[in-house]
Amino acid sequence: MSQKEEVLRRLRRIEGQVRGLQRMVEEDTYCVDVLVQIAAARAALKSVGMTILRGHVNSCVVRAIREDHGEPAIEELVDVIKRFTD
Amino acid sequence: MSQKEEVLRRLRRIEGQVRGLQRMVEEDTYCVDVLVQIAAARAALKSVGMTILRGHVNSCVVRAIREDHGEPAIEELVDVIKRFTD
Amino acid sequence: MSQKEEVLRRLRRIEGQVRGLQRMVEEDTYCVDVLVQIAAARAALKSVGMTILRGHVNSCVVRAIREDHGEPAIEELVDVIKRFTD
Amino acid sequence: MSQKEEVLRRLRRIEGQVRGLQRMVEEDTYCVDVLVQIAAARAALKSVGMTILRGHVNSCVVRAIREDHGEPAIEELVDVIKRFTD
C-alpha cells in the first residue's frame, strides 16, 4: 500500500470515529466515554499528521534544501509544528 | 438549541472536515495545507470536548459530590483531563 | 509527606532540570538531546499540574458545589483545563 | 545577542518561573493561580524548544541532507516532534 492509500485508510477510520461519536451523543452515552473517544480521535489525527509531516520533510523540505532555497520551507515547517503542539 | 444539538452540529462539521481531508489527500494537496487542516480538526475536537467536559462536571460530578460519593467521579475526571492534554 | 511537600519536591526537581538545560546549552549539547530534556521538563510540569488540579477539585470545587456556588468554580476549572491542553 | 545567549536568557527566566511556583505553593496561593503559572512555564518551554528546533533543522538537518545522509536525521526529527506534541 502506498503512503497515500495508507493515509486515506486512516482518515476514513477517523471519519468513522467521528460518526461513532455522533451516535454516542445521540444515545446519551456517559460523557466520560464520549470524552475518551474524542481523545482517541485526536490522537489518531495527530498520528496521521506525523506520517504526513515525515513525508513532507522527506520530499518537499529535502528538495528545497538541495535546491538552496531551504529557508522558507523550514520556516513553514516550524510554523506547522507549532500548530500541532497546540 | 440544546447543548446536545449544538455538540452534534459541531461533530457533523468535524466529520465534514475529515472528509475534506480525504479529498485534499486524494487530490495531492500541498502537505502543509493538509497539516494545517488536521491541526484545525484537532482543535475543533478539543473544543467540543471542552464543552462536553463542562457539561459533565456541571451534571454528573456535581451530583456525585452532592450525594457524597464525589471521589471516584473526581478521579475519573482527572484521568480524562490527562488524556486530553496528551 | 503531605501533598504540599510532594509538590514542592517535584517543583525543585523541575528547577534542577531547567538548570541542567542551561548547562546543556552552554556546553553545546546536541540539539535533539536538549529537545528531549525540554519535553521531559514539560511533561513533569504537566504531571505536577495534574496533582494540583486534583487537589483543587477535591477541596475548592467540592466546597463551592456544597455551598451552592459551584458554577463560577466550574467555569474557572474548565478555563484552566483549556490552558493546560494548549 | 546570539541564539545561544537568547536561549540561555529564556531558560533562566523559566528557572525563575519555576522558583516562583515554589514560592506560590509555599505561601498557599490559590490553586488556579498556580495552575495558570504552570501553564505559562510550559508554554515558555515549548517556545524555547521551537527556537532550538528551528536552529537544529537549519544546521544539523540541512547539513545531513546535503551530505546525503538525511534519512536518520529526519527520523530523529519526527521522533522529537512527537514528544513535543504530547
User: For residues D2 and A49, what is the distance between their CA atoms, to the nearest angstrom?
Assistant: 33
Question: Residue C85 pLDDT > 90, yes or no?
Answer: no
pLDDT attached to residue C51: 93
Render pLDDT for A27-69 as a digit per residue (tens, 0 to 9).
999 999 999 999 999 999 999 999 999 999 988 898 998 898 8
User: Between chains, do B62 and C74 touch, taking CB under 8 Å as contact?
Assistant: yes
pLDDT attached to residue A33: 95
- Reported pTM: 0.89
pLDDT attached to residue C84: 80
Sign of CA dihedral D19, A86, B12, B83: negative
Q: Grid coordinates standing for C62? A: 467540592
Distances (CA, A) of C30 to A23, B57, C60, D74: 49, 45, 44, 15
Percent share of chain B, pLDDT over 70? 99
Task: Judge whether B15 is closer than 8 Å to chain A, CB to CB.
Answer: yes
Query: Across residues B17-46, what is the average pLDDT?
Result: 96
Question: Residue B68 pLDDT > 90, yes or no?
Answer: no
Question: How near does any CA of chain C get to the CA of D68, in Å?
Answer: 19
pLDDT attached to residue D71: 87
User: Between chains, do A11 and B22 touch, taking CB under 8 Å as contact?
Assistant: yes
Q: How confident is the model at residue C47 (pLDDT cuts 50, 70, 90)?
A: very high
Question: How near does any CA of chain D get to the CA of C69, in Å?
Answer: 17
3-state helix, strand, coil in chain C (%, to 5): 85, 0, 15
Nearest to C85 among B46, B70, B75 (CB): B46
Render pLDDT for A10-19 as a digit per residue (tens, 0 to 9).
999 999 999 9
Interface of D with A in 63-82 (CB under 8 A): 65-66, 70-71, 74-75, 77-78, 81-82
Percent share of chain C, pLDDT over 90? 64
Identify which has the larger pLDDT, D59 or C27.
C27
Answer for the pair A11, A31: CB distance below 8 angstroms, yes or no: no
Distances (CA, A) of B79 to A21, A33, B45: 19, 12, 18
Residues 6 or more apart in contact with residue A67 via CB below 8 angstroms: none
pLDDT attached to residue D82: 85
Q: How confident is the model at residue B33 (pLDDT cuts 50, 70, 90)?
A: very high
pLDDT attached to residue A45: 96
Render pLDDT for D12-51 as a digit per residue (tens, 0 to 9).
999 999 999 999 999 999 999 999 999 999 999 999 999 9
Chain A residues whose beta carbon lies within 8 Å of the beta carbon of residue D85: 46, 50, 84-85
Q: How confident is the model at residue C36 (pLDDT cuts 50, 70, 90)?
A: very high
User: Between chains, do D84 and A82 touch, taking CB under 8 Å as contact?
Assistant: no
Average pLDDT of every residue of chain B: 92
User: For residues D34 and C54, what is the distance between their CA atoms, to the nearest angstrom?
Assistant: 13
Task: Judge whether D62 is closer than 8 Å to chain C, CB to CB.
Answer: no
Nearest to C11 among D4, D7, D22 (CB): D22
